[in-house]
Amino acid sequence: MIQKVTHRQMVLMLMLLSITGTLLQPHAQAIYYAEQHAYLCYIPVVLIMFTSMWMLSLVQRRFPDKDLFESLVTRFPFLGRLAGFMYIAFFFFVFARDIRLTGDYVSITLLETTPISIIVLTLLIMAIFIVRGGLGSLIGMVELYVALFLLNSIIVPFMLIQQINLDNLKPYFDVDLAGVGRGSWYLFSFYGEMIALPFVIRGSDFRVKSIFTGNIVTALLMMLIVIETITSIGVPIASRLVYPSYELARQLQISDFLDRFDLALAAATLPCIITKIAFDLYFVCWGLKRMIPKVSGKVLTGPIALLGFVCAFWFFRNAVQLNRFTREWTWIAIVFEVIFPIVFFLFLRPRKKEAGHAPNSESGERASRGKQQEGEQKQEQTSGEPDHSEGKSEKKSGASAEKPIEKKGKTSHGGGNLQPS
């Protein structure tokens, strides 16, 4: 059964998917092309992704008790599975890229003498244990560490007051629209990974209000980080850094006794990145479970993680290849983050029989059970049958009364279990 997700959890998960990858890599490329107006690159990206997510929310309304994987498979058994496997392959590549990017980031900034393979294996072990706990453990990690990252991001500007130079934003109104568009191109593929949410969340929990709130909060937070980077480091330096966010953290200083505040900031940021890697792995395992119901996604976590480990070093030899591939990767991301949502919005609709019963499926089941129990009670009162027939009717009524209790228990304690259904 799919884990029930609240509005707050939905917003935090959307922030997790959009912030972690974007924070590490593409800011330098956006600053290189848009210069001091790099923060404006988020405006077209947010508008496009809000439109895509809004269309998927309308699709999810048509299937309120199903996630998007299940909706695709039940409505179009062949084409739906084909689209599902394409999304699984897409996010498997994202998973391999994320562990390679994170391993390189940790190796350069924190653990310079540790082999990168050991770093990546350590990250994978943590991700496997998180995923094996189901969606509930992922949501618990998100609520803890994304909230902590959000708190740190609000405090950081006050620590950078001495290093901030607003002259780095001049000229304020001489905007290079072509440069802003090219910067948006590099940001789009990372920011748009929020498209994974409807595939693991059922339709009744996927709300437009959560999408709007998450997009606005994420965009404002990332624009603030870009402005901090430009004003404290400067455009010429920030545009040539591989990881400008780390250099921004190194600018932080609290008097003389804590001049390496970047370590404290990394302690709050790295768990978010690890949780994002775990979500990528969960998406792949959950998708395989939906496409092949007899397969246990929980058993697949280890083999898929090891396959991702191999592919991470096979696809990318170093950080330079990771950086350069962002331009071409956006072409592929547009297919999954823009074109497919449009196709789903136009063609993914329930059959006419299902459409009539889908909105009121639960109430209809309750009404049918109530009618069944009333009929059995009337039959007992009017028939006056012997004791053994009364025992049978009592067993039937007991069984019918136990069914809603079992269903209620499933909906309240479901945790996105990866075991075969």
Residue 296 contacts by C-beta under 8 Å, 6 or more apart in sequence? 289, 418, 419, 420
In a domain, 373, yes or no: no
In a domain, 304, yes or no: yes
- Domain residues for the domain of 71 are 8-349
Q: What is the spatial distance between Cα 400 and Cα 84, in angstroms, rounded to a whole number?
A: 36
Q: Note the pLDDT of residue 344.
A: 94
Number of independent structural domains in the chain: 1
Q: Tens digit of pLDDT per residue, the chain (421 long)? A: 567 889 999 999 999 999 988 888 888 899 999 988 999 999 999 999 999 999 999 999 998 888 899 999 998 999 999 999 999 999 999 999 999 999 988 888 888 888 999 999 999 999 999 998 888 889 999 999 998 888 888 888 887 787 888 888 888 888 889 999 999 999 999 999 999 999 999 888 888 999 999 999 999 999 999 998 899 888 888 888 888 887 887 777 655 555 566 676 777 788 899 999 999 999 999 999 988 888 887 888 999 999 999 999 998 888 788 888 888 899 999 999 999 999 999 998 887 765 555 444 444 444 445 555 555 555 555 554 444 444 444 444 444 444 444 444 444 334 466 654 4
CB 225 within 8 A of CB 245: yes
Handedness of CA 134, 219, 223, 321 (dihedral sign): positive
Q: Note the pLDDT of residue 387.
A: 46
In a domain, 129, yes or no: yes
Across the strands, what pairs with 254?
258
Which tokens belong to 58?
């309308």
Q: Note the pLDDT of residue 107.
A: 87
In a domain, 32, yes or no: yes
CB 235 within 8 A of CB 37: no
In a domain, 178, yes or no: yes
DSSP notation for 116-174: HHHHHHHHHHHHHHHHHT-HHHHHHHHHHHHHHHHHHHHHHHHHTTTT--GGGG-SSS-
In a domain, 392, yes or no: no
Q: Residue 142: CA atoms inside 13 Å, Cβ hemisphere, count?
A: 26
The CATH number covering residue 132 comes to 1.20.1740.10
Q: Note the pLDDT of residue 407.
A: 44
Q: Note the pLDDT of residue 134.
A: 87
Question: Quick one: 338 exposed, middle or buried, by C-beta within 10 A (0-12, 13-18, 19+)?
Answer: middle
Q: At what angle do helices 116-132 and 261-291 cross, to 10 degrees?
A: 60
Which residue has tokens 């996105």?
416
In a domain, 359, yes or no: no
Cα–Cα distances (Å) from 19 to 203, 275, 296, 317, 409, in that order, read: 24, 12, 30, 24, 35
Cα–Cα distances (Å) from 228 to 168, 234, 260, 265, in that order, read: 10, 9, 18, 15
In a domain, 151, yes or no: yes
Collapsing DSSP to helix, strand or coil, 350 comes out as coil
Q: What is the spatial distance between Cα 229 and Cα 251, in angstroms, rounded to a whole number?
A: 10
Which tokens belong to 282?
């969960």
